[in-house]
Amino acid sequence: MEQSKIDRLNELAHKAKTPQGLMPEEKAERESLRAEYIAEWHRAVEDTLDRVYIVDDNGQEHKLKKK
């Protein structure tokens, strides 16, 4: 995710905490940015876990399996 989008998401999060809150358009934008951020986070975690191996007591490496 681009840094500008992360910055915008943070701006909206801070504005949501103010007494004025967010306009409906801003709420929709925030939800869209959140969904994009979470999807990218999930991809990054899956990529990392795809490179993880577990070593058993015999020294054998086993790749993690998806559940």
Which CATH number fits the domain 3-63, given the four candidates 2.40.50, 1.10.3470, 1.10.238, 1.10.287?
1.10.287
Percent of the chain with pLDDT over 90: 91
Would you say the pTM of this structure is higher than 0.85? Answer: no
Q: Where does the pLDDT of residue 65 fall: very low under 50, low under 70, confident under 90, or very high at 90 and above?
A: confident
Q: What is the pLDDT of residue 18?
A: 95
- Digit-coded pLDDT (tens) for 9-39: 999 999 999 999 999 999 999 999 999 999 9
Q: What is the pLDDT of residue 67?
A: 77
45, 48, 51, 57 alpha-carbon torsion, rounded to 10°: -80
Q: Where does the pLDDT of residue 57 fall: very low under 50, low under 70, confident under 90, or very high at 90 and above?
A: very high
Instruction: Mention every residue, 6+ apart, whose C-beta is less than 8 A from residue 15.
Output: 21, 22, 26
Number of other CB atoms surrounding residue 24 within 10 Å: 7
